Amino acid sequence: SLCAGGAPGISYRQLKDLKKANVLHIDVRERWEIDRFGKIPESINIPLGELVEALQMDPVEFKEQYKQKMPSKSDPVVFSCLAGTRSKQALGFAMSLGFT
C-alpha cells in the first residue's frame, strides 16, 4: 500500500495514473531493499533516515544528490515503502516541514 496526501493506501494503478500528472514519487526504502526487490520506475530513492535532511537541502545540492528537481512545498509528492509504515512517517515528516 502506498501513501499519498489525503488518500493513504493508494494502489499501484492509482500511482501510475498520478505519475502521468507529474507527481514526484519518493521511495523511502533503504538502498539494500532497492537492490534486493527492485526500483520502482520513475521514482527517486531517499531512505527515510535521509528524508528530513533531503527536504531541507539547497535545491542545487538536492538535484546533484538525487538527480531530480527538488520539490517545492506545494508540489504533489507520493511516498512509498515496502509495507506502508515508513511512507506514512515520511508524509508526517514532509508535512511537519511545511509540505502541503
Which residue is catalytic, options 46, 81, 90, 91?
81
Q: Are 27 and 81 in contact (CB under 8 A)?
A: yes
Q: Is 3 a catalytic residue?
A: no
Cα–Cα distance for residue pair 17/36, rounded to 1 Å: 26
Question: What is the set of active-site residues?
Answer: 81
